[in-house]
Structure 1
Amino acid sequence: MAAGRRNLNFHALLLRYGLVALFLGAGFEGETVVVGGGLLAHRGVFSLPGAMAASSAGSFVADQLFFAAGRYCRDRRWVTRQRERPAFSRVLRMLERYPVAFIFAFRFIYGIRTISPVAIGTSQVRGSVFLAVNVVAAIVWGVVFTAIGYAFGHEVERVLHRLLPSPTTVVVVGAFVVVSLIAVHLVRRRLAARNDVDRRPEQGA
């Protein structure tokens, strides 16, 4: 009885705050959250168009904020730390060679999604250009990764339905998404730290 009540409470939280969490997670964590949003949309926690819209909007808003940080807060500690990372100079080199294409594509490239709009903000790229390309790229990114999660949801549902009754399935999918996000976040932090350490001796050589 208590377990059933906890399941219903968790489901109610997903229904009430799921799109808000997806909006925030899409902006600050990335495609793992968006794929998870597609899974939950497939389970009916929220609509597929709603998940796509929240993911696209979260990505757009976050990247505009990161761009603004690079443009207007260059001397702040967080921005200067980003500028010291080896990835920052790599982003600027790619931006110089393919300005519009890179602005569109950076969110699809692993390891530079957050640092790229900051670096672009410190460049000579006009704010209006970044805004226009960012709108289109965020919509494409949000739709594509949400659709991937939604399509993958067919396979997840098939497996879970063999093991669990329907109400519990929703909770398990939600828990799966949360655990996956934590794991991916920890792995990304470790890989980013390792890449920075590995590249510093090369710069000093």
Structure 2
Amino acid sequence: MLEQSIDFFILFVQDHRVLGYVVLFLAMVAEGEMFLIVAGILARLKALDLGDVLWVSFAGVMVGDIFWYWLGMFTARSRKFLFLMRAAERTVLILLPRFRENPFNSIFLSKFIYGANHAALVLSGIVRVKFQLFIKAELIASFAWVAIFSVVGFMFGHAALAVTHRAAQFALIALIFVIGFILIQRSTSKYYGQKELEESSDSHPQR
């Protein structure tokens, strides 16, 4: 199968589009950079519709964001899953030390910092960030996030397609692109978190 033309794979995905959109939606609810990039690649191949990829992804992201916010509220109210509360606070303290001072900017930035998003969503519920502010930040961030990662996937697909039309080679090139992008994102996020922590420590010196 992998030695065949990529057209075979495209037809297979097209025949199972509904299932593909369901998987994409669920992936966005949980965690989805890689899935969204792959969906963008499939949109470039016309195996999926780009417009459908955008709205399904956006809907899944928003449902997931509200779920994690609610989980944070439930955790704070019930005092259950305290490990989740501690983990969220620890992660946000490292990556977004100004969260309590400026929750809007922190919630927005968390969407693009690897490892910070779910922690920021849960902590937003724990500390009872106003839901209106939370939704506003998430609407803007999610729209930008979905658009950026979809375009990244679309461009990766275009680049891979320019090299080969064989399924195995295309899959390998696309995989290299995706892994490379994720590694760059992780490295950038780690650097940003360290820099933010240093600046926060400098602005709040120990007495």
Q: Tell me how far apart the structure 2 counterparts of residues 125 and 117 of structure 1 sit (CA, whole Å).
A: 10
76 and 160 in structure 1: CA distance in 2 versus 1, 3 angstrom threshold: farther
Secondary structure at 1:111's aligned position in 2? Answer: coil
CA shift, 1:124, in A, is: 3.6
Counterpart residue identity of residue 143, structure 1: A
Which residue of the other structure, out of 61, 74, 91, is the alignment partner of 1:72?
A: 74
Counterpart residue number, 2:114: 110
More helix by share: 1
Alignment gaps of 5+ in structure 2: 187-207
Secondary structure at 1:45's aligned position in 2? Answer: coil
Q: CA RMSD in A?
A: 3.2
Counterpart residue number, 1:199: none
In the TM superposition, what whole-angstrom CA distance separates every residue of 1:58-107 from its partner, at most 9, and x where no partner exists? 11110110001101233232xx2222223144467321132211111111
Identity of aligned residues (%): 25
Counterpart residue number, 1:44: 46
In the TM superposition, what whole-angstrom CA distance separates every residue of 1:127-152 from its partner, at most 9, and x where no partner exists? 12111221121111111110111011
Counterpart residue identity of residue 114, structure 1: H
Which residue of the other structure, out of 145, 157, 163, is the alignment partner of 1:159?
A: 163
Secondary structure at 2:98's aligned position in 1? Answer: helix
Alignment gaps of 5+ in structure 1: 189-205
46 and 11 in structure 1: CA distance in 2 versus 1, 3 angstrom threshold: closer
Count matched residues: 172
Secondary structure at 1:96's aligned position in 2? Answer: coil
Counterpart residue number, 1:126: 130
Q: Does 1:147 align with 2:151?
A: yes
Counterpart contact for 1:41–1:150, Cα < 8 Å = yes
TM (norm. structure 1) is: 0.70
Q: Tell me how far apart the structure 1 counterparts of residues 61 and 27 of structure 2 sit (CA, whole Å).
A: 9
Q: Tell me how far apart the structure 1 counterparts of residues 37 and 96 of structure 2 sit (CA, whole Å).
A: 29
TM (norm. structure 2) is: 0.70
